[in-house]
Chains A and B, each alone.
Chain A
């Protein structure tokens, strides 16, 4: 059974369509990413799937339960870490988890054991008796991840889990997320507007823009869609002869020449570099510099939307 089935899910706010007939499936145990700029509809999608927001139309099953007809069954099967902190600062870390466990009806013995377990998982055992308002941003996020897991959900939603955290803390959070997905066989749906995050963590990524998916596949295959890596050569000598020779090579998909720089698109570029250098040297052309770059999801986003995700984020704030 799939962890999530979504069929033409739609959400409209006063005529504005935030999520537009979305359809997708997520298999059990997957780590699935929703990547897109702020305002793309990621959080709205998560809020509908977690029953916090009522859908306008369409259908969705989470862990086999209908999000409209069986809200309590959905709620029992999911854990969620919200984009903004949702802790009670006047309660300690442990009390926040206790509150959560009791709301899910867990018995005392089970509760104690499980809370210790999740605290250990996120390395917060020693801080458990500190008021949550005294926690750092990274600690708050870890506590929330622990809380999302207390009641052993089948599906865990992480809405921008590393938003506003520094690079080192971000990496730590990534480690925890990977660990969860590996050990617990919990299905994870993660939203992010960080390309590296989607790329390194997710098995499959859906690129979302204006409430729709513009692409959905593994990060590797999404990047392959662009035709492969970019290798650029900075050369000296007979560039015209080199260009002709390179055009004769069928594994080069795209050639762009800017004066003495060749920009070449190809698959597995790192394996082709020696051959490129040999070709140039065979023609007496000197290679001064070689650059090799794997395409990023940023390039994929650019390819599908014609815009860069970064400028989107800079130029637009609001509902996401």
Chain B
């Protein structure tokens, strides 16, 4: 299976053109994380949230969590967008071309990661305007490494679901029973040490936990696990997710 750079490029380009032409989609995708950031940040401002690592302010704790949330939703949806292509018939047009399935998956990951990173960056910029300060250039680069890993991991997850589903009917179920639990159990909104022990076990199998922990470590300098450990776990998870996504995509039939 040869990997075609042109095919990856054109699939990426298509994704970008589509999102740039759907301004409402960008606004919609940004609105929820920004509302969370604004209202939770303001609402809990004067409250002492117990269990904060290193005693940081809640709002500082929240910013990386909200970036992670935006990445989670945006990249999972980008993975699931295969289903929309199936719905509108365009998937057949893609599948009938002599491009290796691996290239198709890589093109989609490139496109989805780019749009997710764009959203994450916008939230970061808005946070910085609002007074949030990352620790420095090196930590910013490290933060972007974690952001890319989070995006690719959940793109892979989206692809796995999209390849196993026939149509967009199951969309809501995946949102409610997969994406939201991943979001709430990742420690994006509160320190996980506040959860009862039996739930905390679940947080350890949630890959976003490690992605967010690493992102926090990079951006604000506090993390539960050593940052190298987070990096290792996220790298393995995104690699496995992408490979599984590619495997299931390859096996799925497009008609």
Contacts and interface: CB of A to CB of B under 8 A. Distances in A.
Interface of A: 47, 50-54, 72-73, 75-76, 78, 80, 82, 84-91, 95, 98-100, 102-105, 147
Nearest to A102: B10
Interface of B: 4, 6-7, 9-10, 14, 17-18, 21-22, 88-90, 92-100, 253-255
Contacts of A53: 253, 255
A89 B17 CA distance: 11
Given A54-B253, A75-B97, A88-B18, A103 B92 contact: no
B249 to A, nearest CB: 14
Contacts of B255: 47, 52-53
Contact of B17 (A72, A80, A91): A91
Given A53-B253, A90-B21, A102-B7, A84 B89 contact: yes
Given A47-B255, A52-B253, A105-B6, A91 B97 contact: no
Contacts of B92: 52, 82, 86
Contact of A90 (B17, B96, B97, B99): B17
A86 B18 contact: no
Given A91-B18, A103-B99, 12 more contacts: A50-B96, A75-B97, A80-B96, A85-B88, A86-B90, A87-B89, A88-B88, A88-B90, A89-B88, A90-B21, A100-B93, A105-B7
B97 A87 contact: no
A52 B92 CA distance: 7
Contacts of B14: 88, 91, 99
A72 B98 CA distance: 5
A91 B17 CA distance: 8
A80 B254 CA distance: 14
Closest 4 interchain pairs by CB? A86-B89, A75-B98, A102-B10, A103-B97
Contacts of B89: 82, 84-87
A102 B94 contact: no
Nearest to B97: A103
Nearest to B9: A102
A189 to B, nearest CB: 14
A100 B97 contact: yes
24 contacts: A47-B255, A50-B96, A52-B92, A52-B95, A52-B253, A52-B254, A72-B100, A75-B97, A82-B92, A84-B89, A85-B89, A86-B89, A86-B93, A88-B18, A90-B17, A90-B18, A99-B10, A99-B14, A100-B97, A102-B7, A102-B10, A104-B97, A104-B98, A105-B7
Which of B9, B14, B22, B253 neighbours the largest number of chain A CB atoms within 10 Å of its CB?
Answer: B14
A76 B88 CA distance: 23
Contacts of B90: 86-88
A170 B15 CA distance: 33
B107 to A, nearest CB: 9
Contacts of A89: 88
B93 to A, nearest CB: 4
A31 B21 CA distance: 40
A67 to B, nearest CB: 12
A89 B18 CA distance: 9
A100 B88 CA distance: 16
A82 B85 CA distance: 14
Contacts of B22: 90
Contacts of A99: 10, 14
B33 to A, nearest CB: 24
Contact of A52 (B6, B9, B96, B99): B96
Contacts of B18: 88, 90-91
A75 B21 contact: no
B10 A103 contact: yes
Contacts of A90: 17-18, 21-22
Contacts of A104: 97-98
A241 to B, nearest CB: 63
B6 to A, nearest CB: 5
B97 A51 contact: no
